[in-house]
Structure 1
Amino acid sequence: MDESRWDGEWEDRQTAESHNRAWGPFAAVGAAVLALALLLGHSTGAFDVLRPDHDAAEPEPQDAPDDTRPRPDSSLLTEFPEESVLFQNPLYATGRLASPPCPAPELDVHDADSMEHFLHTLTDCLDQAWTVQFAKAGLDFEPPERVFWRKPGSSPCRDYPSAAGGFYCRANKSIYLGVRDIAAKWKYSPESVVYASLLAHEYGHHVQGEAGILEYYHEQRRQESDPAQQSFWTRRSELQANCLAGVFLGSVQVTYPIGDSEYETLLEDAANTADREGSSAAERTHGSAHNSALWLERGLSHQTPGSCNTWTADESLLE
């Protein structure tokens, strides 16, 4: 991450092209998910929260924990009273995400108009779902602006096209995706769910921003002098965005529709867009293939923002 860019508070998802890796047997995911459930707490109630806020590129908080709830790592707690925005965010206590009917339009990945129509349709669904969810939490919510580019341009955060094909810019609360770039990055995959997942991930960063999570996360990250610790903060945010993407996709799985084949494709894609094996601690900003898929799966299964509290999760789930 280029620290000079953080004033714009952007985040992007690493490209599938540069992180192409085999995921392995799908059954392994099921075992990993079970491990996650045991570490995080079997019910989503263990991650629900009561008070504070959110952005669009990092992790989230929860409510006053009882003895059965995982407690925040003491190293994450600072003198800032706003820490509860991560650990006890009111969004965590809102239950299942609203699920407006969201049938995916037919997609021709070689046609820019078709891709743009697909992205707008899915973003409309995301706007509806998260507007209702924030109202449940008693929080204000403003849907993000959309920039689905076809030619080079610039945002307050960076120029585009970007290496990742898309990014979220908190400075102007906008999601940027290249209608041709993302198709090329994903090698013109005919599976529309991979583009839906990318969009929902960047939208997840917006959810973090609107809930107050991004602002506090960025402030804590800036205070770290160790690049490895900075990246650890970033992984919490990115894995939370993965989970939030899963929450939305799980909520619309019937009307989209998302069946077993699409489900497996989503998990494989999450693994393929994770950190490269062998990366240094300072370079690991998006999590391992294993954990990237785990957090997406958790969102898909539980469909609640409260299940996405990476800020109190065991460190082994954040590698």
Structure 2
Amino acid sequence: MLWRKGRASDNVVQDTGGGGGGRGFGGGRGLGLGGIILVVIVGLLFGKDPGQILQMLGTMEGDQGAPAQQQSSAPVDNEQSQFVRSVLGSTEDVWGQMFKASGQQYPAPTLVLFNGSVSSACGAASAAMGPFYCPGDRKVYLDLTFFQEMQTRFHAAGDFARAYVIAHEVGHHVQNIIGIMDQVEQAARRGTPMQGAEGLSVRQELQADCFAGVWANHSQQQLNWLQAGDIEAALNAANQIGDDALQKQSRGYVVPDSFTHGSSAERVRWFRTGFTAGNIKSCDTFGAAQQ
């Protein structure tokens, strides 16, 4: 991937607060329902015990005397930061163009680089959760050590595999902007199941994969920056982090009723669908008979 051809985004910041002490939902009284759901989903995705993560975050939030976290511009001399800036800049250009074509303005998200732990509008979080998007503050959070974990634990190497991860989280931002997340929340309140192979969480995550594919299509048209093997690297990443693959790795067996992100085959299929079509209309994972 010739990622240096991309425009560097100005919306990448470095968290400098040292972790903990941040405000969650409810004015600093701990994680709200959305934050707890986020912890459970991400914990299950990466083979972590959600209970342990919640216990750790409770300890972090209990330190009321900790200073509020601050953010500064990410270091421009760091190659990984430059990579993130380039990929995020491309997502801004692609989604900005697509929103403009439909008569709308695209409000770009901020991407926060953190080390170890961070506070967000969704509550405190640790690197153990992996990358995540918080709809409460419209920010993507990423600990760069996750890229190393992708290679060593998930066997997903390559720049475009990393770009896919960023594009997936930005896909959640797009869902937030166009109202998908609100619709999912309303359906969950009416009793529609979130977890499980047919649950809302899986459909929402697969749509973010599809949106990442749409971005990949348009970014290639704009920059011609993909090289041989790049798409395969992204598809391999999607395959390695499917619920079934992760559960086999962590448990030795698969429990479809606890799926939150979709199977490997589903994640690959929906990324490929978005990439092939290049249109978000092709990403209706909620209405599709086959996920």
The answer to whether TM tops 0.5 is yes
Which protein has greater RCO, CA pairs closer than 8 Å, 6+ apart?
A: 1
Question: Which secondary structure does the structure 1 equivalent of 2:112 belong to?
Answer: strand
| 1:164-195 Cα shifts (integer Å, max 9, x gaps) | 42000000000001122332343296510111
Deviation at 1:161, TM superposition (A): 2.6
- Separation in 1 of the partners of 2:42 and 2:167? 11
Identity %: 23
Q: Which 5+ residue runs of structure 2 have no aligned equivalent? A: 1-30, 49-76
| Equivalent residue for 2:230, pick from 262, 270, 274 | 262
Q: What does residue range 39-188 of structure 1 map to in structure 2 within 5 Å?
A: 113-187=78-152
Structure 1 stretches lacking a partner, 5+ long: 20-111
1:286 paired with 2:253, answer no
CA shift for structure 1 position 14: 7.5
- Partner in structure 2 of residue 223 of structure 1: 190
- 1-structure distance, mates of 2:195, 2:86: 38
Q: Which of structure 1's runs of 4+ aligned residues deviate more than 6 A?
A: 11-17
CA distance in 2, matches of 1:230, 1:288: 8
8 Å Cα contact 2:215-2:278 kept in structure 1: yes
Which residue of 201, 205, 212 corresponds with 2:172? 205
Partner of residue 6 from structure 1, selected from 19, 34, 58: 34
Q: CA deviation at 1:131?
A: 1.6
Superposition deviation, residue 298 in structure 1: 0.6
1:226/1:15 CA distance change after superposition, 3 Å: closer
- TM-score, scaled relative to structure 1: 0.62
Q: 1:225 to 1:307 in 2, by over 3 A?
A: closer
Which residue number in structure 1 is paired with residue 207 of structure 2? Answer: 240
What residue number does 1:249 align with? 216
1:227 CA drift (Å): 5.8
Distance 1:136 1:289 in 2: 33
Pair 1:298 & 2:273 matched: yes
CA contact (8 A) 1:10 1:168 kept: no
Q: Measure, in 2, the Cα distance between the counterparts of 1:10 and 1:134.
A: 27
* Contact preservation (8 Å) 2:207, 2:284: yes
**Aligned to 2:104, what secondary structure does the other structure show?**
coil
Distance in 2 between residues matched to 1:294 and 1:160, nearest whole Å: 30
Residue equivalent to 1:313: 288
Moved more, 283-292 or 188-197: 188-197
- Tell whether the 8 Å contact from 1:153 to 1:160 is kept in structure 2 after alignment: yes
Name the SS for the 1:176 alignment partner. strand
**TM-score (norm. length: structure 2):** 0.67
Distance in 1 of aligned mates of 2:89 and 2:175: 18
Q: Is the Cα–Cα contact under 8 Å of residues 134 and 141 in structure 1 kept in the other structure?
A: yes
